[in-house]
Amino acid sequence: MAYKVVINEVLAGTRNAVLDRIKELIASKRNIPGAYDQLYALLSDYPFRKGKALRPALCISTARAVGGMAQQALTSAAALEMYHNAALIHDDVEDESDLRRGKDTIHHLIGMPRAVNLGDATHVCALGFLLENLHTIGIAKSMHVMHEIENMARQSVEGQAMELDWIAEKTFGLGDEDYFRMCTKKTCWYTFMAPCRIGYIIGQQNWSEQNAKDHLGQLSAFGMALGIAFQIQDDLLNLIGSEEQYGKEIGGDIFEGKRTIMLNHVLANSSKHQARMKEILSLPRAQKTAKDVAFILHEMEAVGSIEYGRTLAQHYADKAMGLLNGMHFLQKETPLQKEEIWNSELADRRLIYELVNYVVERKV
């Protein structure tokens, strides 16, 4: 299918470019006199496992779609990738997850305390990239980007706090709007909204405060719709995907008690087994069994929760496509400029367009 060609080319090229920047940054910090070498060896773990580089690709593609050059956005794209990996390390600790990208989670390899510190160190590296922007895109745009990163990080931790509180406080009776609010904060901002907004800020050549406010608002609405579709699909893959392809533990969200759309739906629509499911979900992860998880998954299938999730994911993907089609400030195609240092001109609106199809059809 056409969307796979575009996505595979752009994501692969972006990943290679971003990993080169990450290698350079880690090496530079490692070579500072007195640096603790062992820490920087560990910093190369999660970023270099097989990942998608979705956030950097979206940032660079948006920058190019409004007339900028890829190299102008590459440093911010690398910062987004490091923020993402820091979040993965901390999420895995908080969720007590076993697998990440097909391998043991880092806290299983080095222990919880060292993993938490490694996540902190990964955040520091992201900040290092953002400081480099001062020399490449100037003070004004650098400060705009910093504000976007601060908002993205704040929204993300608020969303994570909501989800963790629901589990810890054994909160039930949640509806779709509760999920959408949490998902917008936890997933949409840092996966779609912020990368698009940062790319726009960097790539926009003729800055106008009024136009920027309008365009950034449109990008936010698009990113929110696409992010909801993406997260529902991710939650579905956690329930019914292939562990080999997905790279994470199948059924892990039920073990962790995460209030996904499908879990909220089954609790609202299965009066016969609601009490039993709440009893299972209230147990600590270590006390839940594979049989418990299978019981809840079977009930999801029985009352149509899986199909409900699929339908909702497609609805929000369709909404995102409608919003994208209305963003006429994005060039349909952006040829590589003479001074541009980049390999694939497909990293523009074409990548953004194809991502809408990708988020609900992906298997990983």
Using one digit for the tens of pLDDT, what is the confidence trace for 14-52?
A: 999 999 999 999 999 999 999 999 999 898 888 888 888
Using one digit for the tens of pLDDT, what is the confidence trace for 282-321?
A: 999 889 999 999 999 999 999 999 999 999 999 999 999 9
pLDDT level of residue 170 (50, 70, 90 thresholds): very high
Using one digit for the tens of pLDDT, what is the confidence trace for 242-284?
A: 665 555 667 889 999 999 999 999 999 998 999 999 999 999 9
Distances (CA, A) of 245 to 103, 237, 342, 359: 12, 10, 29, 15
pLDDT level of residue 172 (50, 70, 90 thresholds): very high
With helix as H, strand as E and coil as C, how does the chain read?
Answer: CHHHHHHHHHHHHHHHHHHHHHHHHHHHHHCCCCCCHHHHHHCCHHHHCCCCCHHHHHHHHHHHHCCCCHHHHHHHHHHHHHHHHHHHHHHHHHHCCCEECCEECHHHHHCHHHHHHHHHHHHHHHHHHHHHHHHHCHHHHHHHHHHHHHHHHHHHHHHHHHHHHHHHCCCCCCCHHHHHHHHHHHHHHHHHHHHHHHHHHHHCCCCCHHHHHHHHHHHHHHHHHHHHHHHHHHHHHHHHCCHHHHCCCCCHHHHHCCCCHHHHHHHHHCCCCHHHHHHHHCCCHHHCCHHHHHHHHHHHHHHCHHHHHHHHHHHHHHHHHHHHHCCCCCCCCCCCCCCCCCCCCCCCHHHHHHHHHHHHHCCC
State mean pLDDT over 141-145.
97
Distances (CA, A) of 233 to 39, 218, 309, 314, 360: 35, 23, 8, 9, 6
User: Nearest-5° angle of CA 349, CA 353, CA 356?
Assistant: 145
Find out whether 15 and 78 touch, Cβ atoms under 8 Å.
Answer: no
Find out whether 88 and 243 touch, Cβ atoms under 8 Å.
Answer: no
Half-sphere exposure (Cβ direction) of 329: Cα atoms closer than 13 Å: 23
pLDDT level of residue 173 (50, 70, 90 thresholds): very high
pLDDT confidence of residue 96? 80
pLDDT level of residue 338 (50, 70, 90 thresholds): very high
pLDDT level of residue 364 (50, 70, 90 thresholds): low
The percentage of residues in the chain with a pLDDT greater than 90, rounded to a whole number, is 79
**pLDDT above 90 (res 80):** yes
Residue in the structure block whose two tokens are 């497909």: 346
User: Nearest-5° angle of CA 112, CA 255, CA 298?
Assistant: 165
pLDDT level of residue 323 (50, 70, 90 thresholds): very high
If one compares 41 and 214, the residue with the highest pLDDT of the two is 214
Lowest mean pLDDT among 35-49, 91-105, 150-164, 267-281: 91-105
Half-sphere exposure (Cβ direction) of 197: Cα atoms closer than 13 Å: 28
Residue in the structure block whose two tokens are 């390999």: 343
User: Nearest-5° angle of CA 67, CA 209, CA 131?
Assistant: 65
The enclosing domain of 78 has a CATH number of: 1.10.600.10
State mean pLDDT over 1-21.
90
**pLDDT above 80 (res 355):** yes
Domain span at residue 325? 2-361
Quote the number of domains for the chain: 1
Separation CA 196–CA 145 (nearest Å): 11
pLDDT confidence of residue 242? 64
pLDDT confidence of residue 230? 96
State mean pLDDT over 346-359.
94
Q: Is 167 exposed, middle or buried, given 0-12, 13-18 or 19+ CB atoms closer than 10 A?
A: middle
**pLDDT above 70 (res 70):** yes
The percentage of residues in the chain with a pLDDT greater than 70, rounded to a whole number, is 97
